[in-house]
Copies of this chain bind each other. A is one copy, B any other.
Amino acid sequence: MYQSPEYRQLTDYLHVQGLNVTPERMEVLSLVLKQKGHFRIEDLIRNSARRKKSISRATIYRSLKTIEQAGLIKSIRSINDEKIYEIVKGHHDHMICEQCGAIIEFHNSELESLQDRICNSRNFTASRHVMKIFGICSACQKKQE
C-alpha cells in the first residue's frame, strides 16, 4: 500500500522538509487520488467523514497545503471564486462555462511560447501563469437552441 509514484513524491517531499510521514497525510493523499477531475476540499472532508477513522477538517486543510507544496495538486478559482483543486498532470489552461460550471481543459503550445516571448520582451521572469476563459460551452449552446 502507498507505493504509487504519488506517494513516493509526497514522502520524498516530507523527508526533504523534515516532516513526518504520518497516516493522516498519506490518507489525505489517498482521498485526493480517489477524486476524478476537479474537486473541492469539502468533497475530501465529506469523504473522510464517512470512514471509520475520519480526519479532522484542520488536518485535511493542513495536509492539502503540504500536498500542494509537494507539487502534486494545484488550485484554480472557478465561478463565484469557488476554490477547486486538481491533480497536477501536464500543464493546461481552462475554459469555464458560466452556465453549467463545466471546466474544460486545453493546451496550446503556440499560446505558451507566445507568453514566453511576451515575458522576455519585458524582462519578466515567469514562474507560472493562470489563463481562464469564461463563456458558454458547446453543450450549453445546443441546449439553448
Residues of A within 8 A of B (CB): 77, 81, 95, 97-98, 104, 106, 108, 110-111, 114-115, 118-119, 122-138, 141
Copies in the complex: 2
| Shortest Cβ distance from A75 into B: residue | B81
Known A-B contacts A110-B114, A114-B110; A127 and B134 likewise in contact (beta carbons under 8 Å) = yes
Cα(A31)–Cα(B70), bound, Å: 43
Residues of B within 8 A of A130 (CB): 130-132, 134
A-B pairs with the 7 shortest C-beta distances? A123-B138, A126-B135, A129-B133, A130-B132, A125-B136, A127-B135, A131-B131
Contact B124 A135 (CB under 8 A): yes
Contact A133 B106 (CB under 8 A): no
Residues of B within 8 A of A110 (CB): 114
Q: How far is the CB of A129 from chain B (nearest CB, A)?
A: 4
Contact A114 B115 (CB under 8 A): no
| Shortest Cβ distance from A131 into B: residue | B131
Residues of B within 8 A of A118 (CB): 106, 108, 111, 133
